[in-house]
A and B are shown apart, each in its own frame.
Chain A
Amino acid sequence: MRKLAAIILTVGLILILLLGVQELPSFGKPDNPDNNEVSRYYIENATKDTGATNIVTGIILDYRAFDTFVESSVLFTASIIVILILKKNGNKTE
């Protein structure tokens, strides 16, 4: 009974999402709405501003380096949390 309800809920969710996919613009056309002037600026001026020939590295370490800083702090926080939960030395000192 519970498994039947779970399967019906999942199939309903997939049908609703596929209805949304039908409204998307065609895959890979050059005049999609998300290939606007932002990506044009990044491709044209990446070598002049940063000096990198890998455009993706130039974006994540020069134009948007703040996002990489916050993501490194997320990794650091995850490691601190796992140390606090699982370290065994001196856990029961009472």
Chain B
Amino acid sequence: MEALLTNYYEACSMILFGVGFAVLLLHSNLIKKIIGMNIMDTAIFLFFIAKGYIEKREAPIIVDVYKGVDAYINPVPSSLMLTGIVVAVSTTAFALALTVKLHEEYGTIELDEIMKMKGD
């Protein structure tokens, strides 16, 4: 149990992932499902960016003088997650456009009523 208390960043990111997954399953409104997907994305970004931290070192920007290789944190996970954030924005935009077209076709956003109208 002590490992969970020292790695509290990773433990909280897993709990956030579970919360987002529960939102995706419990509500039947389509916009709330899209919000749950965004919460899951944010949990994964927190997990990856927290892997790059080293104690008592500073951000990887050379301010006035170069301080040697042992004074900066790991710059690779931050730069890889910039692409992931942009992909999350694109997925949310596409899902919201499909929701607008569904509302024009069926007149409601609740998933249970749409399944009843389709006749399944």
- Is B83 within 8 A of A34, CB to CB? no
- Is A53 within 8 A of B14, CB to CB? no
Whether A17 sits at the interface, judged by CB under 8 Å, is yes
- Is A13 within 8 A of B18, CB to CB? yes
Count chain B residues whose beta carbon lies closer than 8 angstroms to a beta carbon of A: 48
- Is B61 within 8 A of A71, CB to CB? no
Closest A residue to B15 using CB positions: A14
Q: How far is the CA of A55 from the CA of B77 in the complex (A)?
A: 12
- Is A74 within 8 A of B62, CB to CB? no
Residues from chain B with a CB closer than 8 A to the CB of A43 are 60, 69, 72, 75
Count chain A residues whose beta carbon lies closer than 8 angstroms to a beta carbon of B: 47
- Is A24 within 8 A of B10, CB to CB? yes
| Distance (whole angstroms) from the CB of A9 to the closest CB of chain B | 7
- Is B4 within 8 A of A18, CB to CB? yes
Among candidates A27, A42, A47, A56, residue contacting B10 with C-beta atoms closer than 8 Å: A27
Among candidates A60, A67, A85, residue contacting B98 with C-beta atoms closer than 8 Å: A85
Whether B101 sits at the interface, judged by CB under 8 Å, is yes
| Distance (whole angstroms) from the CB of A43 to the closest CB of chain B | 5
- Is A86 within 8 A of B51, CB to CB? no
| Distance (whole angstroms) from the CB of A71 to the closest CB of chain B | 4
- In the A-B complex, list the 7 residue pairs whose CB atoms are closest, starting with the nearest: A78-B90, A14-B18, A6-B25, A55-B60, A17-B14, A10-B22, A28-B55
